[in-house]
Amino acid sequence: MKLVVVGTGQGGSNIADEFFALGKWVWKNRRIHIFTGEPKDPDTWGVFAVNLGMGDLYGLKHIPKTDDHAILLGATDEFRGRGAGKVNADGAEQARKDGKKITSTIADYGHVYDADAMLVIATTAGGTGSGSIGVIVDLLKDTFKKPVYAMLILPFENQYDDPDSMANTATCLKKVLENSKADAVFLVDNQKFSRKHTDTLSQINRRIADSFMDILCVGEETDRRYVGEVLDANDVIRILKGPTAIGISHIQVPKKQTSLLARIKGNSNHKQHFAVGKAQVERAKNVVSQALAELSVDCEIRNADGSFVYDAESVLGLFSGPAHQSTAEIVEMMDNHFAERVPGANRRKGTYPGRTSDTISVTVIVSGIGEGVARDQINSFYKRATSMMGTLKKNRKVRDKSWVESAKLAETLPDL
> Which positions lie near ligand GTP, rule CB under 6 A?
9-11, 14-15, 52, 56, 83-86, 123, 125-130, 153, 155-156, 190, 201, 204-205
Minimum CB–partner distance for residue 186 and Mg ion (Å): 21
Q: Could you say which DSSP state residue 161 is in?
A: T
Of ligand GTP, Mg ion, none, which one sits near residue 243, judging by CB under 5 to 8 A according to partner kind? Answer: none
Minimum CB–partner distance for residue 331 and Mg ion (Å): 44
Name the amino acid, one letter, at 49. Answer: A
Minimum CB–partner distance for residue 48 and Mg ion (Å): 16
Minimum CB–partner distance for residue 224 and ligand GTP (Å): 37
- Using CB atoms within 10 Å of the CB of residue 228, give its burial: 0 to 12 exposed, 13 to 18 middle, 19+ buried: buried
Identify which of residues 23 and 129 has a Cβ nearer to ligand GTP in the complex: 129
What separation in angstroms does the CA of 172 have from each of 130, 365, 373? 5, 23, 19
Name the amino acid, one letter, at 215. Answer: I
Of Mg ion, ligand GTP, none, which one sits near residue 300, judging by CB under 5 to 8 A according to partner kind? Answer: none
Identify which of residues 92 and 312 has a Cβ nearer to ligand GTP in the complex: 92
State the DSSP H helix or E strand holding residue 334, giving kind and residue range, or none if neither: helix 328-341
Name the amino acid, one letter, at 74. Answer: G
Identify which of residues 246 and 312 has a Cβ nearer to ligand GTP in the complex: 246
Of Mg ion, ligand GTP, none, which one sits near residue 84, judging by CB under 5 to 8 A according to partner kind? Answer: ligand GTP
Closest CA to 376 of 153, 249, 187: 187
Question: How far apart, in whole angstroms, are the C-alpha atoms of residue 14 and residue 135?
Answer: 19
Identify which of residues 39 and 81 has a Cβ nearer to ligand GTP in the complex: 81
H helix count then E strand count, the chain: 14, 12
Could you list the residues that contact Mg ion (CB under 5 A)? 10, 53, 56, 83
Minimum CB–partner distance for residue 15 and ligand GTP (Å): 6
Identify which of residues 166 and 315 has a Cβ nearer to ligand GTP in the complex: 166
Asked if 79 and 57 count as a contact pair (C-beta separation under 8 A), the reply is no
Closest CA to 102 of 128, 127, 84: 128
Identify which of residues 154 and 362 has a Cβ nearer to ligand GTP in the complex: 154
Minimum CB–partner distance for residue 292 and Mg ion (Å): 33
